[in-house]
C-alpha cells in the first residue's frame, strides 16, 4: 500500500505551509507578491529557516520600494541633515563639532554605504575603530550623538526602517573631577583680577554663574540697575567657520531667563558703568554700539582667548593653575548651595534644562550638606537627652 503523503503543517497566515515529500525532503511553500515560491530541505527545521529567510528577503525588498530615496548613502544624508535640520538649532560651536565629526569620521568610515543598508555592526565598527585610534570615550559618545541624531531623523522620514545606532555599545566615560574654589580661594581670585583687562568680567562670572559666552555678550539692556533684575536673552559666540568672527545668538537650551542679584552686584556694575563713561569721554576712538557691559579699553568686546589667558594668569597667582573659566560657574553653584540656595532656584539661575541635570552635577554638595545636617540633629538630640 502506498505511503500517505504527510499533511501540510498548519502555520500562521503569511508564513506558508510545510509538507514532507515522497523523496524524504521537506518542501515549504509560501505566496509572495502573488507568486507561489517553494524551498526544499532535508529537515523540517532547516525548511522553516529557509522559508523565514525568503519571507524576510521579500519584506525587505517590499519595504525598500516604500522607502524615501533608497539610493541615498550615509555620505549624502548626514551633511544634508546637518544643513537642513540642525543649522538653525545648534550653537555655532556645536554645529562646527557636528560638521567635523561628519566630515572627518563618519563619511570616511561608512559614507559609501546606502542608508537603508547600514547595520548596527557598521556603526559599532566605526566606534571601535575610533577607540583603537586613541579617541577618548567622551569623543566617541559625542560622535554617537551625531550618528543617532541623523539616523533618528532618517527613520522618522521613512528613509530607513529603524535607527540602527540605538543598539550600539559605548565605552564608559569617566567623569572629570569638578574644580571649585573655596571661600578663601574665591576671595584671593577676586583680588587677583585687579591687574587684568578682563578681570571685572571674570569677577562677574563668579558672582552670577553665567556661562562665558553669556558674560562676554552681556549688554546694559539686560540689567535693570534700579531693581537688580537681570534678563538674559542672548550670548556672544564665534561663527561656525573660520574667519566669521563673533555674533549674537540665542541662549543654550533656547530659553531666556531672569533673576535678581543683590545690591553688592548692582554696586559692582555701577562702578563698571562709571569706568565706561570715563573712557567714553576721554578717548574719541572708544566705541561700544552694542552696549556691552564688559569691554576692552577701546570699547570692543572681549574674545574667549583673552578671557581664558587672563583667567589662567590669575589662577597661577592664587596657586590653582588647573582652574578654567567654566570652573568659576561651578564655584558659584557650589558656594550658593553651601550657603543655603535651593537647588531648583540654582538650576533656574544657571539656565539648566532640568533640575535633575543640576542635581547630577552638584548632588555631591547637597549630600555633604545632608551629612552636616545629621550632625546638627545629633547635637540637638544630645541636648534633649541630657
pLDDT in tens, 304-352: 999 999 999 999 999 999 999 999 999 999 989 888 899 999 999 999 9
**pLDDT for position 379:** 57
Average the pLDDT over 168-174 and give the result.
Answer: 91
Is residue 12 scored above 50 in pLDDT? no
**pLDDT for position 13:** 44
Is residue 368 scored above 80 in pLDDT? no
How far apart, in whole angstroms, are the C-alpha atoms of residue 100 and residue 86?
Answer: 14
**Third-level CATH fold of 74-167:** DNA polymerase; domain 1 (1.10.150)
The per-residue pLDDT for range 92-121, each reduced to its tens digit, is 778 889 999 999 999 999 999 999 899 999
Question: Are 213 and 237 a contacting pair, CB within 8 Å?
Answer: yes
pLDDT band at 367 (very low <50, low <70, confident <90, very high): low
How far apart, in whole angstroms, are the C-alpha atoms of residue 241 and residue 93?
Answer: 9
**pLDDT for position 65:** 58
Percentage with pLDDT > 90 across the chain: 60
Percentage with pLDDT > 70 across the chain: 87
The per-residue pLDDT for range 284-315, each reduced to its tens digit, is 889 999 999 999 999 999 999 999 999 999 99
**pLDDT for position 3:** 47
pTM: 0.67
The per-residue pLDDT for range 173-228, each reduced to its tens digit, is 887 778 899 989 999 999 999 999 999 999 999 999 999 999 999 999 999 999 99
**pLDDT for position 84:** 94
Neighbouring residues of 257: CB distance < 8 A, sequence distance ≥ 6: 231, 232, 251, 348, 349, 351
Is residue 1 scored above 50 in pLDDT? no
The structural domains of the chain, with segments of one domain joined by +, span 17-66, 74-167, 183-371
How far apart, in whole angstroms, are the C-alpha atoms of residue 194 and residue 275?
Answer: 14
**pLDDT for position 175:** 75
**pLDDT for position 254:** 77
Q: Could you give the C-alpha distances from 94 to 82, 122, 166, in angstroms and in order? A: 11, 25, 21
Sign of CA dihedral 144, 145, 150, 154: positive
- Partnered with residue 260 across adjacent β-strands are 229
**pLDDT for position 126:** 97
**pLDDT for position 365:** 72
- What's the chain's Rg over C-alpha atoms? 32
More confident position, 382 or 52: 52
Half-sphere exposure of 213 (CA within 13 A, CB side): 18
Pairing label, strands 17-20, 26-32:
antiparallel
Pick the closest to residue 27 from 2, 44, 52 (CA basis).
44
How far apart, in whole angstroms, are the C-alpha atoms of residue 322 and residue 108?
Answer: 36
Question: Are 362 and 350 a contacting pair, CB within 8 Å?
Answer: no
pLDDT band at 386 (very low <50, low <70, confident <90, very high): low
For 265, counting Cβ atoms within 10 Å of its Cβ (0-12 exposed, 13-18 middle, 19+ buried), the class is: middle
Is residue 64 scored above 60 in pLDDT? no
Class of the CATH-defined domain 183-371: mainly alpha
Amino acid at each position: 500500500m502506498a505511503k500517505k503523503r504527510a499533511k501540510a503543517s498548519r502555520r500562521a497566515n503569511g508564513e506558508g505551509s510545510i509538507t514532507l515529500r515522497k523523496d524524504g525532503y521537506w518542501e515549504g511553500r509560501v505566496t509572495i507578491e502573488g507568486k507561489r515560491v517553494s524551498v526544499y530541505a532535508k529537515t523540517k527545521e532547516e525548511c522553516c529557516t529557509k522559508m523565514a529567510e525568503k519571507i524576510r528577503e521579500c519584506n525587505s525588498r517590499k519595504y525598500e520600494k516604500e522607502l524615501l530615496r533608497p539610493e541615498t548613502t550615509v555620505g549624502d544624508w548626514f551633511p544634508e541633515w546637518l544643513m537642513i535640520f540642525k543649522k538653525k538649532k545648534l550653537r555655532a560651536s556645536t554645529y562646527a563639532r557636528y560638521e567635523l565629526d561628519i566630515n572627518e569620521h563618519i563619511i570616511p568610515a561608512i559614507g559609501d554605504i546606502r542608508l537603508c543598508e547600514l547595520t548596527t555592526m557598521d556603526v559599532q565598527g566605526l566606534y571601535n575603530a575610533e577607540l583603537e585610534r586613541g579617541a577618548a570615550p567622551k569623543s566617541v559618545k559625542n560622535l554617537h550623538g551625531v550618528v543617532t541624531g541623523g539616523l533618528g531623523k532618517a527613520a522618522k522620514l521613512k528613509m530607513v526602517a529603524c535607527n540602527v545606532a540605538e543598539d550600539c555599545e559605548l565605552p564608559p566615560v569617566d567623569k572629570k573631577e569638578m574644580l571649585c574654589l573655596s571661600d578663601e580661594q574665591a576671595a584671593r581670585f577676586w583680588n587677583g583680577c585687579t591687574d587684568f583687562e578682563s578681570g571685572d568680567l571674570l569677577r562677574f562670572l563668579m558672582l552670577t554663574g553665567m556661562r562665558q559666552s553669556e558674560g562676554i555678550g552681556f549688554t546694559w539692556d539686560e540689567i535693570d540697575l534700579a531693581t537688580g533684575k537681570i534678563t538674559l536673552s542672548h550670548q556672544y559666540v564665534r561663527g561656525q567657520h573660520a574667519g566669521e568672527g563673533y555674533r549674537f545668538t540665542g541662549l543654550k537650551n533656547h530659553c531666556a531667563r531672569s533673576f535678581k542679584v543683590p545690591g553688592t552686584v548692582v554696586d559692582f556694575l555701577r562702578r563698571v558703568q562709571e569706568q565706561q563713561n570715563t573712557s567714553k569721554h576721554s578717548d574719541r576712538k572708544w566705541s561700544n554700539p552694542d552696549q556691552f557691559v564688559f569691554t576692552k579699553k577701546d570699547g570692543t568686546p572681549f574674545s574667549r582667548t583673552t578671557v581664558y589667558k587672563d583667567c589662567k594668569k590669575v589662577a597661577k597667582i592664587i596657586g590653582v593653575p588647573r582652574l578654567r573659566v567654566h570652573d568659576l560657574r561651578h564655584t558659584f553653584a557650589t558656594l550658593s548651595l553651601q550657603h543655603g540656595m535651593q537647588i531648583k532656584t540654582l538650576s533656574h539661575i544657571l539656565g539648566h534644562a532640568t533640575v535633575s541635570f543640576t542635581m547630577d552635577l552638584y548632588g555631591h554638595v547637597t549630600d555633604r550638606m545632608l551629612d552636616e545636617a545629621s550632625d546638627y540633629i545629633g547635637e540637638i538630640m544630645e541636648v534633649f537627652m541630657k
